[in-house]
Structure 1
């Protein structure tokens, strides 16, 4: 099958974004493409903030609510381009699908948002109440919701639409995510005389066994607040003839609604306090990992790795408004939840802004080899976003 050409504005913009490789911290090419599109297609103004978030704004003719469409510009890396069926940054079209890194996660949705807002503005001749913001977000793959804090501060939206893949279904919640660091401080010694040291790995092993006995929190809709060990490292490494004096274990914690920085860490801290009281040689500490990433603007983005969960009731008025808007254009969405983290951790979880997810493509295509998006899904979600604009503005 050869390369196909499709003369469609959403397809063209999606291809342009895919052709700009944009790993986290390298989103400038996508930012430039978006900025160009905003300026050439009737947006009132464009704002690129200190982190590189790129926000197009269309002002309506009358005061009203503001709606923010959120789509991240960064992608996870491609480990080996040679094993891809089609080049991951060529955005080739085959059998009605665009192939490439970021097609489903989530440059297709971002392109559809930008085009939908421009078309809605043109079709209404700008005669609508309120404001539309389309935000291309940086660093979402490492920091769900951290860069988004700058966006909500700037746009102050009443409604947020997250464009992560949902197969055109409405998503009204998700578990959050935290990265917890468990550290144990031992005492180095020659491994020929281990009794003179304190082996940090043995000590952390005892704690890990006890942590596995902790009862997980639970939510009827979102499930368990999972706490899973994901890596462990000791020092010195390699430990040639040395009893390790330090060991750190990282846990992935899936967060439920209402869980806080304090409530999540409390049971682990209580366990450590009890174990340290029983064992005078044990010196252990629990905390949240802190991430630090360089932005393409030169700014550094820093944040604790704690991204809250959120959940709305499907009977809420704004959810039903969105649902009805989609039904009215012949779509048939199911109201459900995401099974992964999104920038909704900030908008809904932290800032308490009314938020729902609505995106094209399948959730399980994110981060995969031979990632693609169906053109039919792209065109349908553009209609979805226009319907949302009509319903709220």
Structure 2
């Protein structure tokens, strides 16, 4: 494919609105594209209107299996009127394509799909298997997101992978580790009463404050005790607090939401168990009704700095970008958190085009970087599956 055709394909994907779901709209385009290039592929339904996409090239007898991974959904556009250009117009100006998903991460997904198709067209002598895994619901599920990655893992598509590259926007830096997360809600049930007679009720906010204080003490100890040489320390953030209906009433309900970014040294299950202990103690001491709902638990992901896939990616990036670049860890999570639960032995990279405009107004991708990443992905596949 020439560069204009490569850009046109990305434009086609950006013009498809997959905010909040509707990934089938994109999956059928990927399917048609791969079929045009004689690449074996199929759609794998996960939820209504939301199908994972799978494609494969298989050659030789090598046991290596490399997966290109990307999600098909995008975050919602909160206020399209604030954009310079309509968020699904794929407007091009000054060698940038603007639009929701250009950076996160249809740019990376398009680059991977084109790389696979071009390798097929060129009759690349790959010795092993190259796969493309396009997931649903990485961004757009309120509870337990990453169902697409979970389904790939459940159905056995991850079991034989020896390496996987996730095309999240890293500005073409190479990340070989990322943090995990625990997302949860603390619910407090009280008893309503008039504010002039609080003795007739039970203020739901009071035990929630007690929990917050105990949680802060626990997280302070956790953060001080554990540090990862690549990812640093765990990062807890209270993201939302809500309680009460009106100013002259004792609130009968309150809730608190927390997002904790974890590292390999801070085991998610142990943290959740400790939080449950805090709740049990407060319920006993304060005669409260606190409960916890885990909205998501994603494990941290790490690969050895000198792993083969890291070395190969470094060389490919240097060959095509002609600049120095970072090899590092990142704070945000990816579908790798779910896939590595099924296969702890595979090496993982997060490596894609796109920048810090992801999720923001006027999101864009640099087209030179996008085009370079196609060739980088091709070289990685050739060198890893040789």
State the match for 2:118 in structure 1.
119
CA contact (8 A) 1:116 1:385 kept: yes
Bigger drift between 162-171 and 140-149 goes to: 140-149
Q: Match for residue 364 of structure 2? A: 372
Segments of structure 2 that go 5 or more residues without pairing to the other structure are: none
Q: 1:178 aligns to what SS in structure 2?
A: strand
- The Cα offsets for residues 250-300 of structure 1, whole Å up to 9 and x where unpaired, read as 111111115444211233333334434433x223223412xxxxxxxxxxx
Aligned to 1:216: 222
Structure 2 length-normalised TM: 0.88
Helix, strand or coil: the match of 1:216?
A: helix
SS at match of 1:184: strand
Maintained 8 Å contact 2:99/2:364: yes
What TM-score does the superposition give when structure 1 sets the normalisation length? 0.87
Partner in structure 1 of residue 252 of structure 2: 245
CA distance in 2, matches of 1:104, 1:329: 19
1:154 matched residue in structure 2: 157
In structure 2, C-alpha distance between the alignment counterparts of 1:69 and 1:128, rounded to whole Å: 15
* Cα distance per residue 1:50-94 (max 9 Å; x no partner): 340111222225444221111111111112222211111111111
Q: Structure 1: any 5+ residue segments left out of the alignment?
A: 1-5, 290-304
Q: Is the deviation greater in 257-266 or in 378-387?
A: 257-266
Kept in 1, the 8 Å contact 2:236–2:258? The answer is yes
Please state if 1:139 is matched with 2:137. Answer: yes
Conservation of the 8 A alpha-carbon contact between 1:62 and 1:128: no
What secondary structure sits across from 2:74 in the alignment?
Answer: coil
For residue 224 of structure 1, give the secondary structure of its aligned residue in structure 2.
coil
The size of the alignment, in residue pairs, is: 368
Q: Distance in 2 between matches of 1:58 and 1:183?
A: 49
Who is 2:207 aligned against?
203
C-alpha distance in 2, partners of 1:264/1:17? 40
The answer to whether the Cα contact below 8 Å between 2:186 and 2:290 also exists between their aligned partners in 1 is yes
Q: Which 4+ runs in 1 deviate beyond 4 A?
A: 328-332
CA distance in 1 between partners of 2:33 and 2:84 (Å):
30
In the alignment, the residues of structure 2 paired with residue 62 and residue 206 of structure 1 have an alpha-carbon distance, to the nearest angstrom, of 60
Q: 1:212 to 1:350 in 2, by over 3 A?
A: farther
How far apart in 2 are the matches of 1:313 and 1:127?
28
CA distance in 2, matches of 1:9, 1:338: 32
Say which SS state the counterpart of residue 77 (structure 1) adopts: coil
What is the match of residue 24 of structure 2? 28
Q: Is the 8 A contact 2:205 2:253 kept in 1?
A: yes
Map 1:279-290 onto structure 2 (within 5 A): 279=286, 281-289=287-295
